[in-house]
Each structure stands twice: as C-alpha cells, then as structure tokens.
C-alpha cells in the first residue's frame, strides 16, 4: 500500500496511536514490505531537539516531540544510501511485531545539502537491558525473570525469522525498555545490519559486534538466521551470571584468543555464579552455542523449550547477576564501549587474523573478582570504514523535498 508520489500525504500523526492506524499495517497481519515516506519537512510535525538518545549502526538518534500530541519520540537520521534504505525497509517491515521498536513515521528530507531518511520511532525511556538489572541493587534478579526476558527477546527473533529476516546484531545495547516502570516492555531495535535470509542471499559479511558473533561468521563458512540464535545464547548466559562466555582482552574489540574460543565453543559454567542455576538452563545454552549452525537450536525449538514456554515453572532462584554487574561496572562499561565502537567502525577481514593459543581462563571479568593478574592487551588495530551521521552536532537543520530550509536550532 505504497503512496503514489502525486498523492497528497495524509495526516503525519495518523500513525501515532497503534499499528492499526499505520500505513502498511493490518491488525494481526504481516507488514507491508514497502516503506512509505513523507516528503514534507519533519519539523512541520515534530519539534527536534539536540538531545542525543543513542548511537545506532548507521546514524544518531535524537529526542523529538510530536507537535500535535506532545508525545516524546525518537528521531533517527540516516544519509540516504542503499544501506540506509535497507535498514529502514526491513525495520518498517517488522515494525509492530512483538517486542520490536515501532516506527511511527518516515520522512525524506534534505539536511546539509544531502538527502536524508528520517525515522520517527517510539521513545524507549526505560534504558538498556543490563543497566536495568544493574540498577536493582540488593533486589535479587532470579532465574525465572531471566526466563521471562529470554521469552520476550525470543518472540522478537521468531517474528523476524518468520519474515525471513536476520537481525545479525542482537546484543544487550539493542534491547531497550519502553519505560522505567516495572511492567515495561523490552524491545529490539537497530536494524543496521539486518538482511533478508533467502537461499540466494546467504549472509557472509563479517560485520558483527564480536562479543555476540557466531563462530561461523569468523571463518569462511556461510551462515544464516542461526547466528541470531547464537546471540540469544550469549545474552542468556550473561543474564544468568553477569559476564559473557567469550571475551576479549581489554583494549581490543576482538582478539585471536577470543576468536579461537568462539570457533571452538570454549566456555565454562564456573562457580559460584553458576552453582545454583538449573541444569535445564545450562543445557539450553549449550544448544544455542553449538558451533555447527546445522546443530544449533532453531527459534521454533527455542520458543517451545520448557524453560522458555513455561517460565512460571522455572525456579525463582536468586542469581549473582546484579551483584556481578555492579562489582564489575567499570570493566563492563569498557566492554560496552568497545562494542559500541565496533558497531560503526569494525569491518574486519577475519581470515587475515592469525590464530594464537591463549589461556582459556584469562577472562578479565572473572579475573577481577578472583584477584588474578590480567594479561597485557595489545592495541587494537581494527580499521574503520563506517560513516557516522553528524546531524546532531549542536545544531539541527532540515529542509523539505524542495530544498527550502525549515529550521536551525542549537
């Protein structure tokens, strides 16, 4: 239901209050794959601020307000490139799916003399997944809660895979809560690396954040939607203990030793963090972290696994997660910074990385608590080829499709 260019755009706020009002959406149905862009200036309908809400793969996200309703929203600004078009089209296609951040409106505007795609999304004010757990303090985080979170993330991945889309960068920073309330919904965002998964489109580009990258991405083998399943395994592992199963030396986005451990599937369930975690949860992780994609659990199997489908039967065992995240806050923030940097800059030819043996017990997140000496990290020499949109550096200026300047604000 793509709008013809000669048609007058409708009320830009018609998409604000539910998916049933959105172009290309039907209640309970699949999304129209064709995104519909408005060509009037976004500032006709939204007040844009210079407040940066986050950094995506292909652009920055600004805070904005709907002029008609006063609703706070998020504006993502992308230079109009084939890659940006793909991101927007795929996100639009699945927007409104379960636990997926909704797109409210799309615009084509000129910015700094260049054509841009402007994506208005719901504002996720509840923060990142692990920041929320970390902020709990003395309030215990339980295995049952971890099950419920994984069920929600799994439902988003299930929807994507049913739509023949692989997200390809499922990671904690891309999992956000709608509000700060206890009943807030957790949603998946940032489709900068998403691709369609068809037989004619085997996904081979090594462009992932390494902490959540599947082993087949690190080598010449082809990979498919099963790489999202690997990411689910890593996230589930962290939820249950507070540190990742695979790790790099501090200062490197990815190290030869980390690459080898991922490809060999070398990880442990060390005590005391894993002492009280159920065997069922551990076995589920093992099925998700299989190094052979053909042996890895599918999303259908994951959703139907008792630990996921029967979360109320999962024991409410208190976990070490919130304590570990708090104790290792400084180190964990370093890891997140490395991953965030890798999102826009890392395009590594993994085949050129020489594999070296490394003591598999040198996990810095474990060493810090075990009081063991940490290895000295080499400088990262990853080269950047990403292009970052500078649309929110102190000023915001937009033009409509005729090139007329609409607003300039600091």
CATH level 3 topology of 19-123+389-409? Phosphorylase Kinase; domain 1 (3.30.200)
Residue of 45, 80, 169, 228 with catalytic role: 169
The more confident residue out of 323 and 370 is: 323
Q: So what's the architecture of 127-370 in CATH?
A: Orthogonal Bundle (1.10)
pLDDT at 148 over 90: yes
pLDDT at 401 over 60: no
Which of 173-177, 338-342, 360-364, 398-402 tops mean pLDDT?
A: 173-177
pLDDT at 316 over 70: yes
- Please tell me if the domain spanning 19-123+389-409 has the same topology as the one spanning 127-370: no
76 is in an annotated binding site: yes
pLDDT at 342 over 50: no
Q: Burial, 269: exposed, middle or buried (Cβ in 10 Å; 0-12, 13-18, 19+)?
A: middle
Q: Torsions phi, psi of 328, nearest 5?
A: -100, 25
Calculate Rg over the CA atoms of the chain: 22
Reported as a pLDDT band with limits 50, 70 and 90, residue 394 is very low
d(CA 170, CA 193): 10
Q: What is the pLDDT of residue 199?
A: 46
The more confident residue out of 397 and 257 is: 257
Sequence ranges of the domains in the chain:
19-123+389-409, 127-370
Annotated active-site residue 228? The verdict is no
Across residues 40-59, what is the average pLDDT? 88
Q: Find the helix or strand (DSSP H, E) in which 129 lies.
A: helix 129-134
Alpha helices (runs of H) in 163-288, residue ranges in sequence order:
226-241, 256-264, 279-288
With left for phi above 0 and alpha for psi between -120 and 50, is residue 70 left, alpha or beta? Answer: left
Reported as a pLDDT band with limits 50, 70 and 90, residue 295 is confident
Contacts for 390-394: CB closer than 8 Å, 24+ residues apart:
390/60, 391/59, 391/60, 391/62, 391/77, 391/111, 391/112, 391/116, 392/50, 392/52, 392/60, 392/62, 392/77, 394/50
Q: What is the pLDDT of residue 348?
A: 34
Reported as a pLDDT band with limits 50, 70 and 90, residue 369 is low
d(CA 100, CA 384): 29
């Amino acid at each position: 239901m793509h709008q013809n260019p000669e048609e007058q755009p409708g009320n830009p706020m018609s998409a604000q209050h539910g998916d049933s009002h959105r172009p290309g959406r039907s209640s309970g149905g699949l999304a129209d794959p064709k995104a519909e862009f408005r060509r009037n200036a976004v500032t006709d309908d939204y007040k844009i601020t210079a407040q940066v809400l986050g950094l995506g793969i292909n652009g920055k996200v600004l805070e904005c307000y709907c002029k008609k309703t006063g609703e706070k929203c998020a504006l993502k600004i992308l230079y109009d490139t084939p890659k940006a078009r793909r991101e927007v089209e795929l996100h639009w296609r699945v927007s409104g799916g379960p636990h997926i951040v909704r797109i409210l409106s799309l615009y084509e505007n000129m910015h700094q003399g260049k054509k841009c795609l402007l994506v208005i999304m719901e504002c996720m004010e509840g923060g990142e997944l692990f920041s929320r757990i970390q902020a709990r303090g003395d309030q215990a985080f339980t295995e049952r809660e971890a099950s419920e979170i994984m069920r929600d993330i799994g439902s988003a991945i299930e929807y994507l895979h049913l739509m023949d889309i692989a997200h390809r960068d499922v990671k904690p920073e891309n999992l956000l809560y709608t509000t700060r309330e206890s009943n807030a919904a957790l949603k998946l965002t940032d489709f900068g690396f998403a691709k369609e998964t068809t037989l004619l489109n085997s996904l081979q580009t090594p462009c992932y954040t390494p902490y959540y990258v599947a082993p087949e991405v690190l080598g010449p083998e082809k990979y498919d939607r099963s790489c999202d399943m690997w990411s689910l395994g890593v996230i589930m592992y962290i939820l249950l203990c507070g540190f990742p199963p695979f790790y790099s030396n501090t200062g490197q986005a990815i190290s030869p030793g980390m690459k080898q451990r991922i490809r060999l599937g070398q990880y442990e369930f060390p005590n005391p963090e894993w002492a009280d975690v159920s065997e069922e949860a551990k076995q589920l992780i093992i099925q998700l972290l299989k190094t052979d994609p053909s042996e890895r659990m599918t999303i259908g199997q994951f959703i139907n696994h008792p630990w996921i489908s029967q979360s109320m039967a999962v024991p409410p065992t208190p976990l070490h997660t919130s304590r570990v995240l708090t104790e290792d806050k400084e180190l964990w923030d370093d890891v997140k910074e490395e991953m965030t940097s890798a999102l826009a800059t890392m395009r590594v030819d993994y085949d050129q990385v020489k594999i070296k043996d490394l003591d598999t017990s040198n996990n810095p997140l474990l060493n810090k608590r075990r009081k063991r000496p940490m290895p000295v990290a080499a400088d990262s020499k990853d080269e950047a080829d990403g292009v970052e949109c500078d649309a929110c550096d102190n000023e915001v200026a937009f033009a409509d499709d005729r090139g007329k300047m609409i607003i300039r604000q600091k």
